[in-house]
Amino acid sequence: MQSPIDSEETLARILQLALRAGEAILAVYATDFVIDHKADASPVTEADRRAEAIILAGLGEIAPGVPVIAEEEAAAGHLPDASDVFFLVDPLDGTKEFLARNGEFTVNIALIRNGSPVMGVVYAPTLGTLFCGKTGGAFKTQVVHGKTERLQPIRVRRAPPRLDATGSRTLGAAACEGWLKRFPDTSFIAIGSSLKFCMVAEGAADIYPRFGRTMEWDTAAGDAILRAAGGRVVTLDGQPLKYGKRADGYANPHFVAYGDPSLGAAVTRPMDTVG
């Protein structure tokens, strides 16, 4: 019997929660907001704080008692004991994109079960685009006047002869370029936040290697959507990316996200055998 927390109803309620958080972000985005810095020197704004407060309150109503690990709470040292089931939240993924006002930032909410992301919502407020997924299916929709249009199923594509890779504009870019030489021909699409996972999930890109630093709340929602769309997210030794790594401060190792499972052998091939 399916647990209620994994249900379609829960996903629908989390989707609406992401929309509310997005509204709060856009309200700040339209102002001359103040930029603060956390202890690790990373930027934070009132938009991050407002969105996280909305999400934490909403998840408390949707799933009372289920732990929530959220970026700003974690930065303040508030880390609940995560059980086998917990939420990961990045209220504003891509703060640098937010500051650059290029629109490539997202609200990320994910449900983790036994170390794997089983449900995720990624919402890009300025783009009016929302992705969601749970075990068994992934979807994309547009948001018009605060309401979602009909959810459209998405699926990873079969890898073409010339792969489309996606990744960060700056973080780990040199390492990414070197790693991609294992493929005979690739193009590169730079984009911010967890939209990289979503591009692979909808078949707009084929592969996303990541060698820069990421935290679990950065990746969990996009990872859930990509897995639901038929893709995979693995560490460099080919193991599925796991969640709940409290001993590591919830930091991720380097990883590769890809769509077509046939890419798996090349993804895990050691660099000294490439070519």
- Each of the 275 residues of the chain gets a pLDDT tens digit; together they read 445 788 899 999 999 999 999 999 999 999 988 888 887 778 889 999 999 999 999 999 999 999 999 999 998 888 887 789 999 999 999 988 999 999 999 999 999 999 999 999 999 999 999 999 998 899 999 999 999 999 999 999 999 999 999 998 776 677 888 899 999 899 999 999 999 999 999 999 999 999 988 999 999 999 999 999 999 999 999 999 999 999 899 999 999 999 999 999 999 887 654 43
Domains and CATH numbers, the chain: 4-154 (3.30.540.10), 163-273 (3.40.190.80)
DSSP summary character for residue 231: -
Beta-bridged to residue 257, according to DSSP, are 208, 233
User: pLDDT value at position 174?
Assistant: 76
- Identify the residue whose tokens are 């983790």: 112
Distances from the Cα of 245 to the Cα of 40, 42, 249, 255, angstroms: 19, 21, 7, 15
User: pLDDT value at position 271?
Assistant: 62
Distances from the Cα of 93 to the Cα of 9, 45, 75, 122, 153, angstroms: 25, 12, 14, 9, 24
User: pLDDT value at position 2?
Assistant: 44
Identify whether the C-beta of residue 232 lies closer than 8 Å to the C-beta of residue 261: yes
User: pLDDT value at position 83?
Assistant: 81
User: pLDDT value at position 3?
Assistant: 53
Question: pTM for the full model?
Answer: 0.94
